[in-house]
């Protein structure tokens, strides 16, 4: 009996071998749902989600550095220096007030200071400190303050 | 064999031979297509150079690409900087207003035509256009008449 | 003109008349394995030549070239797959062809010489596959070759020298790659073509010697019958290869990196049996003596065997002993390969295929 | 008619069909789908434009011979250089413009990672089974900057730079080699511990350093209470304190303490600086006589200590220490508990303690541990860890999806919680926040140990300065540790102002007075210059050095012109006043006599403080010296400058002394 099996066995073994090697030994681990469940131990880095665009983000940094001292961190016009000013700084979170200015005006105010819009000299000109790109970043950010 | 009268077997055999022909023909065609590479390990023939405003009035040599960028007011043209004789890099001479090849003294007029020396062909003028990011896009595959220029 | 082959003589039932037959199904079947192997050889040569157009045997470029074949060259991946799978298939099928010949006791006088040639062809197939294995210059290739070179080195006296000359240095580098390339695309194909030609011609002449009655009668016209017959055998294998080429991509791991050893490093599958053997004890015995004894024995079978009965049919009862011996050899050989391929993990310890390996 | 003959037509037909299938398989490549999508997008974007859109299907390839890179990313990322695709979805989004990074030259994968040769999403982005160098996550992106620009990218790559600084500040370099950089030993030496701290405190400290001092850089070795006791026992070997009584007056002690502005560096009851250790519980930590020694001469105990030598008289120190040991007790510490801990330590095993101390690698950060050889660098070498092969990293038993099994993720998690992957690992836990871990990971990834071609290197940022003053001034700077707060020629801290040009800036009388009794010029500052007991010769030496070395010709050259300016002229001063208050509204930021803004320095009595040349120089260009000063830049005419200078210098304190 076994004798008859000889060649068939050979044939089968050889073919199976051929196809098994053909598929290659794969050790890839797919992410199954229950594996994810065990994941909290292992943290996958995720972007700190920010609603700001890249430009607005750059603007935010500049704002915090140059503007917040008077206009306040969130544009409420309550920076620590505001108390000392003869004319209270503009409130950037006031939508109705801000709507009276076009982006061009805001940019002008930043670059040329208060006098550029015929307002108080307490607002100094930053045109020679900030690049045009930085100014437009700032404008973009200032706009976000009066949005919500 | 008696192929003259139509039988099922003959028909099948016919199909068989046809298919055989198809298979081998197909494989040959595939091999032929295979011989044409889809990517090249060469400097690209279509490449970007700087922004238009970075090229002053007159003739500027772009050494990296061996081309001359020529600006006349708001017109920009690009001409090859390689001598058509044996491929030396040619020079632009402002005072004589012509291209000169250091190797065998070929002279090309300002519009690329051979005025003296052994060079067989005039200098090729390349198509130049504006890339979406505002830089000049030179396409060496496209040879254009020297009158053709890009208006910026 | 007239032309005959072994198969035909069987199909006419001429050679087997009056001999007790073991299995009606198996009776005088040869499966045309010889011709199928030749077909494979042809496919390998064609695809091989095509691959050479884009391949440079340069340690800095080889891997990149294969990646190009994989990703950007039209039909590149397909041809590469076909080449790889044909090679693997050829190893398996040449082996089957031999088994067939043995089970039908076809190695006997006057075919003893052809049997030896056949064995040489089998060895050539292995060497060609091995040298081809290194060319992609990926981890699989590099470490497979490393194992093989160490097996060579384990030979007594000449071992180290052998390794040195095969690699063209003490470790696998540009020289090894160049040599493998030359052997693979020039030397081996040349030798094999020569041997195959010899094999076929001898086969034909031996037929006539063995069955003088084939002269004259029982003619079959070559066109279209025999052409059809042989073509269809070619198509069978072509189909298998194309299916494989469509379904499975030829493996290509990370670029060869001497500083990162895969755990475990395994030889090419067709030499895994040898590596497995090697892991059992002294290299001298297990890698050199035993395999060579088997080889020698196989070579000399025609000259050793006494019996004369039971030629030309499968598993003739009068050849029980030979068949048992040979079947044992085949199963052990394949068993070893399967063992090495699927049951060996880090440090060559035994693992079930479904077991996961400890990585460190 | 043989069997094979009969099946011949079928076989032939079959193989022909297979050939077609084969061709189809090869033709049907995923990138084409993206290119069709892009084409459609391109068409609708450029509707109305004059010249027709030409788009060629097929592979796009960037090849950099020098870098040996082939990138085919643009086969699908087709909008990279087309501003119109700024808001288009990936893979078509425009690449943000980062200075001069022309990817025609750099390719993509050099910075982004991934497999440039591949043309399918899985293979190109990775990781795949056969290509682990996956795309860098945005969080770690900055690691690539260092390839060409070096790692001191304060402004350009803040995350990388932060990681770089942390790597050395937190003593990582104590155990890990990094790219041939000098080893830093960040912790204090641990000699005669038994004379220094109380055993129960040391036990608590080892159990959780951050519980005692939240800002500490000391990591948590995760000792069990027994282990902590053993280590304490080992560290506390040797004789205890002599027990000499420190008898002083708490009252005056307190005043001295407050006057000395210790809170500039030390936190007391949650208020104050982060430079020195928390003080409000110090009495339950250290023995009084140790406190005495520290206040007297910290450098004798620890040469790298950041604490200046105030130069108190012994009596004052006695008072201070008395006050501290009375006031600064750990109030929520339970006596019995402390006693129990002390008992635990007393019964601890020195031998096991020593083993633990060695295994844990305390020597990585601390020197002078009695009985332990100082072999640092116990951890693996990090010099090329940025390109380590994944197979060498052990994820332990944690099941990580294959897609997340990348080198950056491993490093990130290792830093986040060092013992995550296996029990009994050595690395102690720093309790890094996600941001901190990201920074250090980024730095680690930047250690690739590979060189880019010279034509690609472009070092940016400020290399650390090796400024080290010599001679008398050097001694003073060392004694008072000026560079902990002040920066001179790029060396030193950020707490106080940069002194590199002090000599050109201030007047002799003022600086000498200031050194004796410093007061603050900037209204909003919390940190204030402590009143050191500066000796007159020191004071002279300081001024001499300032005047000779810390000067800039830009100012000195103005002396001539300024003398001609007639700054005393009342008319000019009045003009200046106008400009100051009306035209330029300087008072929005500056105070004069308590009137005006709080942003800039107080300008009262500037005439006594600053040199006229400096004022002129500064008004010319406020950014010239302090690059990031918040001062706006006005295009002042020379006349205006003259007037403003005159006015500012004329401002006198209305307070009558």
Provide the pLDDT confidence category of residue A24 given band limits of 50, 70 and 90: very low
In a domain, C313, yes or no: no
List pLDDT tens digits, range A64-89: 888 988 898 888 888 888 888 888 88
What are the chain D neighbours of A128 within 8 Å (beta carbons)? Answer: 632-635
The number of domains in chain B is 2
What are the chain C neighbours of A22 within 8 Å (beta carbons)? Answer: 85, 88, 244, 247-248
Average pLDDT (B73-92) is: 91
Provide the pLDDT confidence category of residue C162 given band limits of 50, 70 and 90: very high
Phi, psi of B98 (to 5 degrees): -160, 165
Can you give the pLDDT at residue C251? 92
Nearest-5° Cα angle at D494, D488 to D499: 30
For residue D62, list its beta bridge partners: D71
**Is residue C35 over pLDDT 50?**
yes
Task: Say yes or no for a CB contact (<8 Å) between C22 and A4.
Answer: yes
In a domain, C13, yes or no: no
What are the boundaries of each domain within chain D?
58-135, 158-181+378-456, 193-364, 471-551, 556-650
The number of domains in chain C is 1
Report the range of poorest mean pLDDT among A21-35, C161-175, D88-102. A21-35
In a domain, B6, yes or no: yes
CA distance A121 to A114: 5
Closest to D251 measured CA to CA, from D331, D322, D312, D310: D322
Q: Which residue of B has its CA nearest to C220?
A: B1
List pLDDT tens digits, range D287-328: 998 999 999 999 999 988 999 998 899 999 999 999 998 888
CATH number of the domain within which B113 lies: 2.102.10.10
Quick check: C75 and B30 in contact, CB under 8 A?
yes
pLDDT exceeding 70 applies to what percent of chain C? 88
Please tell me whether the peptide bond between D127 and the residue prior to it is cis, using omega within 30 degrees of 0.
yes
Q: What is the DSSP string of C185-232?
A: IIIHHHHHHHHHHHHHHHHHHHHHHH-GGGSSSS--BIIIIIHHHHHH
In a domain, B41, yes or no: no
In a domain, C345, yes or no: no
pTM: 0.85
Can you give the pLDDT at residue A28? 33
Q: Cβ of D454: how many Cβ atoms within 10 Å?
A: 7
In a domain, C327, yes or no: no
Q: Is it true that D158-181+378-456 and D556-650 share their CATH fold?
A: no
Of C85, C92, C342, the CB nearest to A14: C92
Average pLDDT (B101-109) is: 90
Can you give the pLDDT at residue D231? 94
In a domain, A75, yes or no: yes
For residue B130, list its beta bridge partners: B136
Q: Which of residues 80-99 of D touch B (CB under 8 A)?
A: 81-84
Specify the pairing of strand D62-64 against strand D69-71. antiparallel
Of A54, A80, A129, the CB nearest to D632: A129
**Is residue D562 over pLDDT 50?**
yes
Can you give the pLDDT at residue A77? 86
Specify the pairing of strand B46-48 against strand B136-144. antiparallel
Q: Are B114 and B137 members of one domain? A: yes
Can you give the pLDDT at residue C299? 87
Can you give the pLDDT at residue D105? 78
Average pLDDT (D172-179) is: 89
Task: Say yes or no for a CB contact (<8 Å) between C68 and D389.
Answer: no
Q: Please, what is the end-to-end C-alpha distance for chain B in angstroms?
A: 77
In a domain, C54, yes or no: yes
Please tell me whether the peptide bond between C264 and the residue prior to it is cis, using omega within 30 degrees of 0.
yes
Our CA-based measurement puts residue C222 at a distance from the nearest CA of chain A, in whole angstroms, of 30
Average pLDDT (D259-267) is: 86
Query: For the domain D556-650, what is the CATH code?
Result: 1.10.760.10
The number of domains in chain A is 1
Q: Which of residues 51-70 of D touch C (CB under 8 A)?
A: 59, 61, 68, 70
Please give the residue range of the domain that contains residue B50.
Answer: 46-151
Tokens describing residue C149? 């070179």
In a domain, C339, yes or no: no
Q: Cβ of B41: how many Cβ atoms within 10 Å?
A: 12
Query: For the domain D193-364, what is the CATH code?
Result: 1.10.760.10
In a domain, A123, yes or no: yes
In a domain, A6, yes or no: no
In a domain, A116, yes or no: yes
CATH number of the domain within which A139 lies: 1.10.760.10
Please give the residue range of the domain that contains residue A91.
Answer: 59-145
Task: Say yes or no for a CB contact (<8 Å) between D4 and C257.
Answer: no
Can you give the pLDDT at residue C16? 45
Provide the sign of the torsion angle of the four alpha carbons D63, D66, D69, D74, taken in this order: negative
Report the range of poorest mean pLDDT among C304-308, D377-381, D403-407, D439-443. C304-308
Neighbours of chain A (3+ CB pairs under 8 A): C, D
In a domain, A11, yes or no: no
CA distance B69 to B79: 7
CATH architecture assigned to D471-551: Orthogonal Bundle (1.10)
Task: Say yes or no for a CB contact (<8 Å) between A10 and C244.
Answer: no
Can you give the pLDDT at residue D228? 94
Residue found under tokens 């000098």: D182
Phi, psi of D69 (to 5 degrees): -120, 140
Q: Are B139 and B112 members of one domain? A: yes
Provide the sign of the torsion angle of the four alpha carbons B145, B149, B150, B151, taken in this order: negative
Average pLDDT (D109-115) is: 93
Which of 3.30.1370.10, 2.60.40.420, 3.40.50.620, 3.30.2310.20 would CATH assign to domain D158-181+378-456?
A: 2.60.40.420
Tokens describing residue A66? 């140059």
Residue D609 host element (H or E): helix D606-609
**Is residue A20 over pLDDT 60?**
no
Q: Which residues contact D352 (CB under 8 A, 6 or more apart)?
A: D227, D230, D234
What are the chain B neighbours of C74 within 8 Å (beta carbons)? Answer: 33-34, 36, 38
CA distance C86 to C96: 15
CA distance C298 to C328: 13
Predicted-complex ipTM score? 0.79
Q: Which of residues 5-34 of D touch B (CB under 8 A)?
A: 8-13, 15-16, 19-20, 22-23
Q: Are B67 and B133 members of one domain? A: yes
Quick check: B51 and B136 in contact, CB under 8 A?
yes
CATH number of the domain within which C186 lies: 1.20.810.10
Provide the pLDDT confidence category of residue C172 given band limits of 50, 70 and 90: very high
What are the chain A neighbours of C354 within 8 Å (beta carbons)? Answer: none
In a domain, A111, yes or no: yes
In a domain, C273, yes or no: no
**Is residue D227 over pLDDT 90?**
yes
CB–CB contacts below 8 A, C to D: 88
Check if C103 contacts A (Cβ < 8 Å). Answer: yes
Q: What is the DSSP string of D298-355?
A: HHHH-TT---------HHHHHHHHHHHHHH---TT--HHHHHHHHHHHHTS-HHHHHH
Tokens describing residue D187? 């912790």
**Is residue D157 over pLDDT 60?**
yes
Tokens describing residue C251? 């493996």
Task: Say yes or no for a CB contact (<8 Å) between C232 and D22.
Answer: no
Can you give the pLDDT at residue C213? 62
Maximum mean pLDDT: which of A1-10, C296-305, D439-448, D601-610: D439-448
For residue D220, list its beta bridge partners: D429
CA distance A15 to A13: 6
Average pLDDT (A21-46) is: 50
CA distance C228 to C119: 29
In a domain, B113, yes or no: yes
């Amino acid at each position: 009996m076994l004798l008859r099996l000889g060649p068939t066995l050979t044939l089968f073994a050889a073919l199976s071998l051929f196809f098994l090697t053909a598929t290659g030994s794969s050790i890839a681990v797919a992410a199954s749902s229950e594996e994810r469940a065990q994941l909290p131990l292992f943290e996958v880095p995720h972007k700190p989600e920010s609603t700001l665009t890249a430009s607005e983000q750059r603007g935010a940094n500049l704002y915090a550095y140059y503007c917040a001292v008077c206009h306040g961190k969130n544009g409420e016009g309550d920076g620590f220096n505001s108390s000392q000013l003869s004319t209270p700084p503009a409130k950037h979170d006031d939508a109705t007030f801000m709507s009276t200015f076009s982006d061009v005006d805001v940019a002008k105010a930043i670059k040329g200071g208060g006098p550029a819009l015929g307002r108080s000299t307490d607002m100094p000109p930053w045109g020679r400190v900030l690049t045009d790109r930085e100014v437009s970043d700032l404008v973009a950010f200032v706009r976000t303050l009066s949005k919500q | 064999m008696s192929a003259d009268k139509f039988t099922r077997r003959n028909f099948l055999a016919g199909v068989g031979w046809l298919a055989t022909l198809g298979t081998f023909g197909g494989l040959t065609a595939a091999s032929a297509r295979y011989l044409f590479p889809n990517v090249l390990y060469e400097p690209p023939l279509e490449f970007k150079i700087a922004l238009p405003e970075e090229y002053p009035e007159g003739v500027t040599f772009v050494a990296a690409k061996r081309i001359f960028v020529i600006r006349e007011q708001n017109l920009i043209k690009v001409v090859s900087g390689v001598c058509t004789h044996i491929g030396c890099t040619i020079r632009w001479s402002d005072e004589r207003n012509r291209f000169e090849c250091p190797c065998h003294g070929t002279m090309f007029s300002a519009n690329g035509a051979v005025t003296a020396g052994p060079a067989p062909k005039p200098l090729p003028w390349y198509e130049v256009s504006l890339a979406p990011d505002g830089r000049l896009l030179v396409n060496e595959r496209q040879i254009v008449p020297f009158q053709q220029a890009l208006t910026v | 003109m007239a032309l005959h082959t072994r198969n035909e003589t069987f199909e006419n039932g001429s050679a087997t008349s009056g001999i007790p037959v073991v299995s009606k199904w198996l009776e005088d079947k040869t499966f045309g394995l010889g011709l199928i192997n030749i077909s494979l050889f042809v496919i390998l040569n064609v695809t091989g030549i095509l691959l050479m157009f884009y391949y440079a045997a340069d340690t800095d470029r080889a891997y990149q070239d294969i990646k190009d074949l994989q990703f950007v060259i039209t039909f590149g991946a397909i041809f590469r797959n076909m080449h790889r799978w044909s090679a693997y298939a050829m190893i398996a099928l040449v082996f089957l062809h031999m088994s067939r010949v043995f089970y039908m006791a076809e190695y006997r006088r006057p075919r003893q010489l052809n049997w030896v040639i056949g064995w040489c062809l089998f060895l050539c197939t292995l060497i060609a596959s091995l040298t081809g294995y290194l060319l992609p210059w990926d981890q699989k290739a590099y470490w497979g070759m490393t194992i093989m070179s160490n097996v060579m080195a384990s030979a007594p006296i000449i071992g180290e020298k052998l390794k040195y000359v095969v690699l063209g240095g003490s470790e696998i580098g540009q020289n090894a790659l160049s040599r493998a390339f030359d052997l693979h695309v020039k030397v081996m194909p040349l030798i094999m073509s020569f041997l195959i030609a010899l094999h076929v011609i001898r086969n034909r002449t031996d037929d006539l010697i063995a069955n003088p009655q084939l002269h004259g009668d029982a003619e079959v016209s070559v066109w279209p019958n025999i052409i059809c017959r042989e073509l269809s055998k070619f198509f069978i294998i072509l189909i298998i290869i194309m299916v494989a080429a469509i379904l499975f991509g030829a493996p290509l791991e990370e670029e060869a990196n001497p500083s990162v050893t895969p755990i475990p490093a395994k030889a090419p599958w067709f030499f895994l049996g040898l590596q497995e053997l090697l892991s059992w004890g002294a290299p001298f015995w297990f890698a050199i003596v035993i395999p060579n004894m088997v080889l020698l024995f196989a070579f000399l079978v025609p000259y050793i065997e006494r019996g004369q009965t039971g030629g030309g049919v499968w598993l003739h009862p009068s050849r029980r002993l030979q068949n048992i011996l040979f079947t044992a050899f085949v199963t052990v050989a394949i068993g070893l390969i399967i063992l090495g391929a699927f049951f060996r993990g880090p440090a060559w310890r035994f693992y079930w295929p479904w077991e996961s390996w400890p990585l460190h | 008619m043989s069997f094979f003959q009969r099946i011949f037509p079928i076989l032939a037909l079959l193989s022909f069909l297979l050939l077609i299938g084969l061709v189809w398989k090869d033709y049907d490549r995923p990138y084409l789908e993206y290119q069709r999508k892009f084409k459609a997008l391109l068409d609708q974007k450029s509707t109305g434009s004059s010249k027709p859109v030409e788009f060629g299907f097929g592979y796009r390839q960037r090849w950099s011979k020098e870098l040996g890179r082939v990138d085919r990313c643009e086969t699908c990322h087709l909008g990279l250089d087309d501003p119109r695709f700024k808001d288009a979805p990936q893979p078509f989004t425009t690449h943000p413009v980062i200075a001069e990074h022309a990817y025609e030259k750099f390719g993509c994968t050099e910075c982004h990672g991934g497999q440039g040769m591949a043309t399918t999403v899985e293979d190109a982005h990775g990781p795949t089974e056969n290509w682990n160098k996956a795309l860098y996550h945005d969080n770690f992106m900055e690691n690539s900057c260092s390839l060409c620009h070096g790692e001191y990218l304060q402004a350009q790559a803040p995350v990388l730079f932060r990681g770089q600084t942390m790597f050395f500040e937190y003593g990582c370099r104590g155990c890990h080699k990094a790219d041939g950089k000098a080893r830093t030993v960040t912790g204090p030496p641990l000699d005669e511990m038994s004379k220094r701290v109380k055993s129960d405190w040391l036990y608590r400290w080892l159990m959780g350093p951050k519980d005692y001092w939240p800002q500490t850089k000391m990591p948590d070795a995760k000792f069990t209470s027994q282990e902590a006791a053993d280590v304490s026992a080992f560290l506390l070997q040797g004789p205890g304190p002599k027990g000499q009584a420190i008898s002083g007056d708490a009252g005056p002690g307190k005043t001295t303490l407050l006057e000395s502005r210790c809170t500039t560096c030390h936190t007391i009851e949650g208020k104050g600086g982060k430079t020195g250790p928390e003080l409000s519980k110090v009495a339950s930590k250290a023995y009084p006589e140790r406190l005495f020694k520290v206040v007297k001469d910290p450098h004798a105990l620890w040469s790298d200590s950041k604490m200046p030598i105030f130069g108190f008289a012994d009596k004052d120190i006695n008072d201070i220490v008395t006050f501290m040991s009375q006031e600064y007790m750990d109030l929520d510490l339970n006596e019995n508990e402390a006693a129990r801990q002390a008992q635990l330590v007393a019964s601890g095993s020195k031998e096991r303690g020593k083993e633990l101390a060695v295994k844990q690698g305390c020597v990585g950060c601390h020197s002078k541990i009695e009985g332990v050889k100082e072999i640092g660098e116990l951890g693996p070498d990090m010099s090329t860890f940025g390109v380590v092969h994944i197979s060498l990293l052990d994820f332990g038993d944690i099941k990580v999806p294959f897609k997340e099994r990348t080198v950056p993720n491993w490093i990130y998690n290792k830093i986040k919680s060092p013992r995550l992957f296996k029990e009994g690992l050595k690395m102690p836990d720093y309790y890094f926040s996600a941001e901190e871990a990201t920074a250090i990971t980024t730095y680690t990834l930047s250690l690739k140990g590979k060189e880019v071609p010279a034509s690609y290197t472009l070092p940016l940022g400020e290399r650390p300065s090796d400024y080290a003053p010599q001679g008398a001034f050097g001694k003073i700077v060392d004694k008072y540790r000026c560079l902990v707060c002040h920066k001179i020629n790029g060396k030193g801290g950020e707490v106080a102002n940069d002194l590199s040009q002090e000599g050109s800036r201030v007047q002799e009388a003022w600086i000498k007075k200031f050194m004796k009794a410093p007061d603050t010029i900037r209204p909003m500052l919390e940190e204030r210059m402590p009143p050191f007991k500066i000796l007159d010769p020191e004071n002279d030496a300081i001024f001499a050095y300032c005047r000779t070395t810390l000067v800039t010709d830009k100012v000195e050259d103005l002396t001539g012109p300024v003398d001609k300016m007639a700054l005393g002229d009342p008319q000019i001063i009045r003009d200046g006043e106008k400009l100051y208050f009306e035209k330029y509204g300087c008072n929005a930021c500056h105070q004069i006599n308590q009137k005006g803004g709080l942003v800039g320095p107080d300008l009262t009595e500037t005439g006594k403080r600053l040199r006229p040349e400096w004022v002129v120089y500064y008004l010319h260009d406020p950014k010239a010296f302090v690059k990031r000063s918040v001062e706006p830049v006005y295009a002042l005419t020379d006349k205006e400058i003259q007037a403003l200078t005159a006015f500012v210098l004329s401002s006198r304190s209305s307070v009558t002394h």
